């Protein structure tokens, strides 16, 4: 299909200083959990983005010196010449598809404790480490500032040697240069502190140094926060940011604008919607003649066009939309925007980095697997046989399995017990703020509906005999999991004996099915991710008084990795939910709940009419087990293979279910041993 002429504007080339981007699609810097530790995986990932049509593809934050070391989060690095080779792997792959390669030079300052390199970090002052390690930075003296400028310049030269086209000065997100800029963090009284002129001095020097060093061939970009932070959502606090911007406006070749508050800049969809940065940065274009890029989880080409036409941006910046769908630009270009796999705004991608592991994505199971498994987000091997496959369960694992097997050309039957498809993503997407999670279902259904080789059977609650009667060659069971009501979980490894009466004990499944508790509700959250808090919010909407009890020290503790914990706790407090942290639920009798302190065991009683148990899930693997027994007993019509996938195998995050479905499809008909085979990336250090 030819592309819709409405979107032509997105494919115009844009000049950035000495280089030109072939279109307006700009993959802004985002980390991947790969960095200098896994250079081949990283290069392949970025190469796929370029292949997918992004005009600019940037690295993650790239450390300029060992005194800016973020392990266990693996950053890119340009510490010495031995790093050039690893980075050149990436630029080569990006250039192969006609895209520009950008590098974000980074010095963390008091953000890094340098636990790996054991160097002392430097910052505007001797500041406590921001992420909580018991370290402080050294307050930079004039010599330190000169040294930092030299390191930055040398890293820029290495970036040029690695064939990057765009070199960043990274002046936001609480890292060193941003601490010089902000009056809230700059406590200096020398010519680098105090007045606005003095506070911008270091950033101005870094821009000038970088231009002098590499500006003949490379564009120089600045990542800059449009507001000072601390305001209500959607209401910017510009303070002196506009003046600051105006002082620097014409110095770099490109402005990459975002916000200091990462929980808004890259907010989860529960709290932040598409295009949310506009009110913060709509002044920027009128204050500079240089091209401007910003972010906003852009997945709609109409929103993108509107941003450009209204003069808000020149480039459509994207981190997460490019992770969920590396081929987003190509799909618009080829006139098939309906094929875009839209980001759901869950931030599992960011959580992977926080865990120091290769990036996961809920929507895109191939992310991070481009090199080590050779997976491509759009291409998949043709079927290995004429086998018929039956998949039981149309949740995220079953849908992805059916979609990918269908793409391979297999004859697929997808049976779902209920009328609705989508399993947990459908029911969870009805909880407060989670509507965009339905995109996991919608993308897959939309693809499957076009496949003549995939049949979907709704209201088909199959037993073992029914499955055998189908006569499929392969059977995949994807029947999901059910929340437990017996207290079993991390806190009570053997469950909870004193829990009753049964009709007053609820689970998230009850709430999602509309079976709601009554009276004063105690919600016991021993899961620590989003479910406890969204169920609490749902109950608040019914006017029920809710007390959330958690053995952790804060609500939804795992949400720290997805950058939503603070917002979650704030939301619950604003809704009037009483939060009792560091306590477990030890008994409930229909009138009172007994709580025990997680540290001392000391108990206390609170009045409660109902409890909601958010503890653990039980795999729905009954069908799998009865089929396994038939197989072992040598029943007639048994399939050649029987597997369970997703939550029915082991309950986990939605991304894991999608991954399991995808992997099953990739590996069908491949030799059994292949399942364990995965290439191992690594670095060979060069000693001087
Ligand atoms: C997985 C992930 C890693 C990120 N890493 C970086 C980074 O290394 N440097 C940076 O400046 N911003 C980083 N960000 C922020 C993004 O560049 C971007 O500002 C933010 O995700 C909002 O854009 P989006 O809505 O298109 O995702 C990261 C974001 C994500 C999701
Ligand atoms: S993990 Fe979630 S937020 Fe991140 S890109 Fe994928 S769908 Fe979007």
Whether residues 576 and 528 share a domain: the answer is: yes
Ligand 2 geometric centre to CA of 384 (Å):
31
The answer to whether residue 361 is domain-embedded is no
- pLDDT at residue number 188: 96
Q: Which protein residue's CA is at the shortest distance from atom 2 of ligand 2?
A: 346
CB burial string 286-322: b at 16+ within 10 A, e below = ebbebbbbbbbbbbebeebbebbeeebbbbbbbbbbb
| Residue showing tokens 């020149």 | 314
- pLDDT at residue number 89: 96
Last residue of a domain, one of 354, 370, 398: 354
What is the DSSP pairing of strand 100-106 with strand 166-171? parallel
- pLDDT at residue number 649: 98
Whether residues 418 and 339 share a domain: the answer is: no
Return the structure tokens found at 133: 């390690």
E strand or H helix at 223: strand 219-225
Ligand 2 geometric centre to CA of 30 (Å):
12
- pLDDT at residue number 637: 76
Whether residues 34 and 152 share a domain: the answer is: yes
Return the CATH number at 464: 3.40.50.720
Return the CATH number at 493: 3.50.50.60
- pLDDT at residue number 678: 77
E strand or H helix at 21: strand 19-21
Whether residues 512 and 399 share a domain: the answer is: no
Whether residues 134 and 262 share a domain: the answer is: yes
- Assess whether the C-beta atom of 363 lies below 6 angstroms from ligand 2: yes
The answer to whether residue 651 is domain-embedded is yes
Atom of ligand 1 nearest to the CA of 296: 25
Whether residues 189 and 171 share a domain: the answer is: yes
Query: Annotated catalytic sites, by residue?
Result: 175
Q: What residues are paired with 597 via a beta bridge?
A: 583
Ligand 1 geometric centre to CA of 349 (Å):
10
Q: Is residue 516 within 8 Å of 503, Cβ to Cβ?
A: no
CA distance 546 to 577: 5
pTM above 0.75, yes or no: yes
Whether residues 336 and 440 share a domain: the answer is: no
Atom of ligand 2 nearest to the CA of 348: 1
The answer to whether residue 574 is domain-embedded is yes
Q: Which of 26, 28, 354 to mutate to test the pocket of ligand 1 (most atoms within 8 A of CB)?
A: 28
What is the DSSP pairing of strand 583-588 with strand 592-597? antiparallel
The answer to whether residue 379 is domain-embedded is no
The answer to whether residue 687 is domain-embedded is no
Whether residues 315 and 440 share a domain: the answer is: no
Whether residues 552 and 636 share a domain: the answer is: no
Ligand 1 geometric centre to CA of 504 (Å):
44
Whether residues 610 and 526 share a domain: the answer is: yes
CA distance 370 to 515: 44
The answer to whether residue 430 is domain-embedded is yes
Last residue of a domain, one of 555, 582, 617: 617
Q: Which of 73, 266, 564 to mutate to test the pocket of ligand 1 (most atoms within 8 A of CB)?
A: 266
Question: Which ligand lies nearest to the CA atom of residue 169 in the structure?
Answer: 1
Atom of ligand 2 nearest to the CA of 655: 1
Ligand 2 geometric centre to CA of 274 (Å):
13
Whether residues 163 and 291 share a domain: the answer is: yes
The answer to whether residue 436 is domain-embedded is yes
Tell me which residue range forms the domain holding 98: 5-354
Atom of ligand 1 nearest to the CA of 258: 19
The answer to whether residue 366 is domain-embedded is no
Question: Who lines ligand 1 at CB under 6 A?
Answer: 28-31, 60-61, 104, 173, 223, 258, 265-266, 295-297, 318-321, 349-350, 353
Q: Which of 320, 377, 657 to mutate to test the pocket of ligand 2 (most atoms within 8 A of CB)?
A: 320
Instruction: Tell me how many domains the chain contains.
Output: 3
- Assess whether the C-beta atom of 324 lies below 6 angstroms from ligand 2: yes
CA distance 192 to 174: 17
Which residue ranges in the chain fall short of pLDDT 70?
Answer: 672-677, 685-688
Whether residues 198 and 125 share a domain: the answer is: yes
Secondary structure string (H, E, C) spanning 106-144 = ECCHHHCCCCCCCCCCEECCCCECCCCCCCECEECCHHH
């Amino acid at each position: 299909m030819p592309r819709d002429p409405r979107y032509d504007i997105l494919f115009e080339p844009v000049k950035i200083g000495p280089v030109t981007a072939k279109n307006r699609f700009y993959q802004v810097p985002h980390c991947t959990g790969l960095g200098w530790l896994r250079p081949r995986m990283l290069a392949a990932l970025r190469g796929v983005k370029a292949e997918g049509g992004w005009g600019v593809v940037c690295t993650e934050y790239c450390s300029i010196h060992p005194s800016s070391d973020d392990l266990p989060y693996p950053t890119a690095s340009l510490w010495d010449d031995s790093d050039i080779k690893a980075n050149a792997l990436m630029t080569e792959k990006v250039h192969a598809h006609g895209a520009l390669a950008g590098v974000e030079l980074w010095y963390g300052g008091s953000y890094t404790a340098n636990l790996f390199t054991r160097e002392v970090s430097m910052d505007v002052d001797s500041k406590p480490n921001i992420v909580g390690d018991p370290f402080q930075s050294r307050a930079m003296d004039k010599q330190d500032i000169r040294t930092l400028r030299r390191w930055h310049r040398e890293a820029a030269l290495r970036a040029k040697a690695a064939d990057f086209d765009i070199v960043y000065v990274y002046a936001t997100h609480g890292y060193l240069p941003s601490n010089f800029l902000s009056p809230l963090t700059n406590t200096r009284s020398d010519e680098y502190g105090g007045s606005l002129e003095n506070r911008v001095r270091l950033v101005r020097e870094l821009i000038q140094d970088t231009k002098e060093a590499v500006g003949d061939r490379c564009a120089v970009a600045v990542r800059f926060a449009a507001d000072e932070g601390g305001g209500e959502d959607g209401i910017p606090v510009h303070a002196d940011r506009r003046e600051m911007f105006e002082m620097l406006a014409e110095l770099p070749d490109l402005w990459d604008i975002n916000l200091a508050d990462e929980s808004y800049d890259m907010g989860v969809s529960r709290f932040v919607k598409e295009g949310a940065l506009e009110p913060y940065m709509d002044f920027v274009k009128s204050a500079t003649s240089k091209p401007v890029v910003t972010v906003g989880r852009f997945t709609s080409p109409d929103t993108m066009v509107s941003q450009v036409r209204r003069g808000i941006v020149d480039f459509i910046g994207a981190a997460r939309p490019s992770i969920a769908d590396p081929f987003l630009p190509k799909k618009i270009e080829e006139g098939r925007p309906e094929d875009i796999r839209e980001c759901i705004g869950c931030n599992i991608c960011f959580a992977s980095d926080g865990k120091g592991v290769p990036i996961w994505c809920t929507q895109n199971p191939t992310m991070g697997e481009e090199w080590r498994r050779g997976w491509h987000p759009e291409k998949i091997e043709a079927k290995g046989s004429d086998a018929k496959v039956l998949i039981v369960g149309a949740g995220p694992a079953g849908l992805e399995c059916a979609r990918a097997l269908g793409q391979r050309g297999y004859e697929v039957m997808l049976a779902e017990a209920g009328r609705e498809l989508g399993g947990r993503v459908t029911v969870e997407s009805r909880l407060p703020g989670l509507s965009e999670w339905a995109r996991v279902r919608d993308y897959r259904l939309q693809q499957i509906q076009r496949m003549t080789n995939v049949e979907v059977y709704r209201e088909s609650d199959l037993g073992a005999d029914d499955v055998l009667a189908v006569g499929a060659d392969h059977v995949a069971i994807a029947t999901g999991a059910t929340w437990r009501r017996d207290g079993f979980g991390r806190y009570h490894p053997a469950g909870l004996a004193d829990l009753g009466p049964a009709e007053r004990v609820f689970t998230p499944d009850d709430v999602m099915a509309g079976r709601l508790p009554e009276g004063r509700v105690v919600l016991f959250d021993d899961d620590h991710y989003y479910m406890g808090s969204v169920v609490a919010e749902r109950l608040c909407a019914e006017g029920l008084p809710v007390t959330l009890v958690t053995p952790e020290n804060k609500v939804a503790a795992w949400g720290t990795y997805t950058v939503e914990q603070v917002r979650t706790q704030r939301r619950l407090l604003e809704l009037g939910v009483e939060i009792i942290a560091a306590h477990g639920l030890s008994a409930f009798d229909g009138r009172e709940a007994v709580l025990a302190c997680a540290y001392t065991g000391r108990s206390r009683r609170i009045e409660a009419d109902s409890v909601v148990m958010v503890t653990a899930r039980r795999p729905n693997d009954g069908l799998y087990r009865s089929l396994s027994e038939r197989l072992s007993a040598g029943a007639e019509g048994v399939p050649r293979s029987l597997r369970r996938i997703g939550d029915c195998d082991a309950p986990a995050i939605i991304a894991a279910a999608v991954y399991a479905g995808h992997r099953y499809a990739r590996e069908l008909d491949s030799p059994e041993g292949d399942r364990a085979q995965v290439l191992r990336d690594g670095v060979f250090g060069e000693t001087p």
